Amino acid sequence: MVEIEFLGGVRSVTGSKFLVRGERVEVLVECGQYQGLKELRRRNWEPFPIEPREIDAAVITHAHLDHCGLLPKLVREGFTGSIHCTADTARLSAIVLADAAKMQMEDAEYAARKGYSEHKVPLPLFDERDAQEAIEYLTPHPFHQRSEIAPGTFVTFHRAAHILGSSFVELEIEGRRIIFSGDLGRKNHPLLSDPDPLPHGKIDALLVESTYGDRSHRIPGDALRDVINRTVKRGGTVVIPAFAVDRTEVILHRLKELITMGAIPKVPIFVDSPMALASLDVYRAAFESDAVDIDLKIAVDGDPFDSEFYQAARSVEASKAIAQMESSSIIVSASGMAAGGRVLHHLRRLLPDPRNTVVLVGYQSIGTRGRTLADGASTLKLFGSVVDVRAEIAEVKEFSVHADSGEMITWLSTASEKPGHIFIVHGESDAGTHFQGLLSEGLGWSSTIPDRNRRYAI
Ligand SMILES: [Zn+2]
């Protein structure tokens, strides 16, 4: 018998963790951090309800923290197996995990200094040594190649078009075939090739994400152009909180297009995130080596991240120098939901001035500052003080790298037959329930929204 235990990523978009138990083999698929609401983040500190030592192998779909961010903790608690992923996921995860460890350690140190930790002696969730050890276990695989990861257990990575290296995973274990959608991207990703169709043949269980299960993206292609133009006209600065991995690359690519077309003025553009700059290098290398998931149409135009038109702020001094700019500029800085990172300093400075604009370009989880701004708050808490929000807040949806409900149904309909079980994961409750209805109407498929920490036989 094969069972799936849903350890996280159910009824929330973060914290994905799925344990697949066979008679002889245990495989953990995803090991993500919870982000956003405090009650969710607290779960990161709970001990794993499983014995990490007993897991034979781990698999991750892509390099976002909510999919790979607890790997160092897994290793710290005794996991010693391989962590399987694609080659670019391994490269990007190494950047993301090292940065996460640094943030954890800085936060713990700051809390200790300020004395506001909930723990007597504030501890990081994991440290740089744990992250380094997890990085050493990362085991890269090419796309579309079936590899044995434990006795009688095989994994194949298919293109998901969400970020560079992202995959949906086909896991074969003790005669059962399970598909994990990971985060599914869209057909119009400006840099990546389209998602692969589902593999042919019987699928015993399919876990599908539902981040945008209750939404359809309209593509207002000119929204970014318009918001930049009106901000520059009133002498303001545009700040774009952007996820370091992928979103920054997509935004830069779009800004370059807009400038080349003469659609926006040539104002200084700053990339202020060391992690974003490191991942830009991984993207650039992928272009140079014609990686399997790169859209080849893009590569013919030369370097899509031409560094001539933006300035990289690598050091803290360079980051601080941006604040001295008197004229209009565009600042792209992490983190994407303004949960932390250098973007907070820019927000503190720019939010009180109505000439400026904050452009939100990604999903904003409940409980993050990004969501608070999107919901129209008139003040925001930053570095322990209350900052007035007078700047324009604009949400630009054209950069979503998650499929919407219609795109998801289209992808699911590439299955050659109805899967044995369908589990809806990785979505807030309403999105999941709405998507369940759409699946039933659109494809006539019944599905389950699983409970956390419960096992389901497939
Ligand atoms: Zn993702």
Residues 299 and 188 in one domain: no
Q: Which of 399, 425, 442 is the last residue of a domain?
A: 399
- Distance (angstroms) between ligand 1 centre and the Cα of 386 equals 31
Instruction: Please state, rounded to an integer, the average pLDDT across all residues of the chain.
Output: 91
Tens digit of pLDDT for each residue in 383-409? 888 999 999 999 998 887 788 888 999
Residues 228 and 349 in one domain: yes
Residues 246 and 146 in one domain: no
Query: How far apart (Å, rounded) are the C-alpha atoms in residues 141 and 139?
Result: 7
Q: Which of 399, 426, 445 is the last residue of a domain?
A: 399
- Distance (angstroms) between ligand 1 centre and the Cα of 243 equals 10
Q: Which of 384, 399, 414 is the last residue of a domain?
A: 399
Residues 52 and 192 in one domain: yes
* Structural domain of 372: 223-399
Q: How many domains does the chain have?
A: 2
Quick one: pLDDT at residue 79?
97
- Distance (angstroms) between ligand 1 centre and the Cα of 159 equals 13
Q: What is the dihedral of CA 81, 123, 428, 247, to 10 degrees?
A: -80
Choose among 142, 141, 106: nearest CA to 125.
Answer: 106
Residues 201 and 309 in one domain: no
Residues 185 and 229 in one domain: no
Question: What CATH number does the domain containing 326 carry?
Answer: 3.40.50.10890
- Distance (angstroms) between ligand 1 centre and the Cα of 113 equals 33
Residues 97 and 24 in one domain: yes
- Distance (angstroms) between ligand 1 centre and the Cα of 405 equals 16
**pLDDT by 10s per residue, the chain, length 458:** 999 999 998 888 889 999 999 999 999 999 999 988 888 888 999 988 899 999 999 999 999 999 999 999 999 999 999 999 999 999 999 999 999 999 888 877 876 776 655 566 678 899 999 999 999 999 999 999 999 999 999 999 999 999 999 999 999 999 999 999 999 998 878 899 999 999 999 999 999 999 888 877 655 568 999 999 999 999 999 999 998 899 999 999 899 889 988 999 999 999 999 999 999 999 999 988 889 999 877 766 667 777 788 999 999 899 999 999 889 999 999 988 998 889 999 999 999 999 999 999 988 888 899 999 999 999 999 988 899 999 999 999 888 778 888 899 999 999 999 999 999 998 888 889 999 999 999 999 999 999 999 999 99
- Distance (angstroms) between ligand 1 centre and the Cα of 317 equals 31
Residues 201 and 329 in one domain: no
Question: What CATH number does the domain containing 9 carry?
Answer: 3.60.15.10
- Distance (angstroms) between ligand 1 centre and the Cα of 266 equals 31
DSSP E strand stretches across 49-93: 57-59, 82-86
Cα atoms found within 13 Å of the Cα of residue 256, Cβ hemisphere only: 19
Q: What's this model's pTM, rounded to 2 decimal places?
A: 0.90
Residue 418, classified by CB atoms within 10 Å of its CB into exposed (0-12), middle (13-18) or buried (19+), is middle
- Distance (angstroms) between ligand 1 centre and the Cα of 62 equals 7
- Distance (angstroms) between ligand 1 centre and the Cα of 162 equals 7
- Distance (angstroms) between ligand 1 centre and the Cα of 183 equals 5
Quick one: pLDDT at residue 218?
57
- Distance (angstroms) between ligand 1 centre and the Cα of 170 equals 17
Backbone φ and ψ for 151, nearest 5 degrees, come out as -50, 120
Residues 89 and 186 in one domain: yes
